Structure 1
């Protein structure tokens, strides 16, 4: 935070923006610079508390499952639309070759996280035995690719993604199913037209919303019973030959019923800048 303070003090930006806001909100308060904090993670309680009380505007999706506070601006959409809305992201099927996936090949993407964030304390995620079971079961229906923040057991190393990680959104777009522990990737999958299964004891307002409104994400807890249910749900999706077509249709509905979040951000920043110019 101190390093960022020194940079901001020297640069004197018109506005500070960031996710969670644990750094920008205090700096903005100290330097008298407007700060826009974006959050969608309800269980990041300490970060949310600090950021909200120190920022200028606290921006969350409508589906944020917390009481709406005075300076909380809400919008009809999801964070991931800022970079995956079709106005900005153009999927390229040719990139699949870089991940050793053949044209028209059915594949499943699995994501395991490290559970290292402050809001992940007390979580254990999917146990190793069930990770192996999920991969073995899903492999019966297509090629399985695993993206993992932690080192995979030797038995699963052959499933590790081989390809440029920065292009993974193209992979998500053309997958039949995304399964795992990442809320962000589950939301990305929903926006891109891929069914997602997400496991987390506390869940997220946005993945709950994407299940309730669009039936694109399926939420489960980390209990052993739910881990088994999540695998069965994955098998159910993979057995459905129309699954991808259905998911793409539902994602079109999602895009039709949400906003271009980037346009909203630009509008807010321009309004702030206009206000600053008037004062000067």
Structure 2
């Protein structure tokens, strides 16, 4: 079989990397179409995935002309790659996957989470043969929509597929028993981030100053605008493929972005999310809050005070790990499901009984 996979962001690389490797091991031909967005191509290279690039991420600051020109160029490259590859099934999300599946007349599988915008869903839903999402997703996308108990991040972070690198402290240049925090500051340039505000520059500096008095602080600044020269922190500068190992070894993660908070929670690392002006209700965060793995805050003072309390709590890491073991182990290993759906040519009805049991129609999931 020939399987086409879209990786529009770094998170999508992690979503599909184990499935791609396993499908290739089973003799299938896989083509990954990636977009230059953040560290996407760095990850594709690191994991040796068979990829081509179809374009670059267009920031929200681009003009309509720039956006339209870039979009037309991307769709043209996707069309050429799709016609050359002739896939039997397409995996992705949004208009890119929908266009490729339609052009190739191949079943299209969308793997979605509870993102705030309707654009991707509205454009792609009519062309999808199968839609997969976590059971906590709040949308009902019709008869083709199936859910599973877990998160899209379970494809790379389920205990069956993720084994943290115990030498990550060495890579970070700190002692093996030295506690550290990771602060992740969002650039807020994605389509779903339009109009949102996270930590202000002064709040970032204040948080670093205060946390730096209690433990070692590493800063991952997506926008690259924060000067750490006079602050008690170091830039997080490991290869992006090591971020999950670094999060697994951290005593605390604080962020104004969603994906890394979800990932840290699933790894059993105390994870705090500052909502800022984001008032969208995400099913994933609600579930992780119920499990005691993630905490969310509406004001800077609240997230700051909670971060300082956890930084001084020597028992917090053990509590979070116990919660993780009690909850995450029983979630669906999404990599297994993706491989099974690919080999069933995108059809849930063709899955064998054991695989079919882990998905259910969204319409029967209680809201």
| CA distance 1:192–1:144, change in 2 (3 Å) | same
TM-score by length of structure 2 reads 0.70
Q: CA deviation at 1:251?
A: 0.9
The answer to whether 1:76 aligns with 2:149 is yes
**Structure 2 gap ranges (5+):** 1-74, 351-367
Which residue is 1:117 aligned to?
Answer: 190
Matched residue count: 270
CA distance in 1, matches of 2:266, 2:114: 18
Q: Among 305, 314, 326, which residue is 1:253 paired with?
A: 326
Q: Secondary structure at the residue paired with 2:137? A: coil
TM-score by length of structure 1 reads 0.90
User: Aligned runs of 1:135-214 on 2, under 5 Å?
Assistant: 135-155=208-228, 158-200=233-275, 201=278, 202-212=280-290, 214=291
Structure number having the greater helix percentage: 1
Does the CA contact (< 8 Å) of 2:220 and 2:236 recur in 1? yes
Q: Secondary structure at the residue paired with 1:154? A: coil
Q: CA deviation at 1:67?
A: 3.1
| CA distance 1:149–1:210, change in 2 (3 Å) | same
Q: CA deviation at 1:204?
A: 2.5
**Structure 1 gap ranges (5+):** none
CA distance in 2, matches of 1:61, 1:270: 21
Q: CA deviation at 1:218?
A: 0.7
Does the CA contact (< 8 Å) of 2:83 and 2:103 recur in 1? no
Which residue is 2:310 aligned to?
Answer: 237
Does the CA contact (< 8 Å) of 1:64 and 1:205 recur in 2? yes
Which residue is 2:21 aligned to?
Answer: none
CA distance in 2, matches of 1:168, 1:43: 25
Q: Among 215, 239, 243, which residue is 2:292 paired with?
A: 215
* CA-atom RMSD in angstroms: 1.9
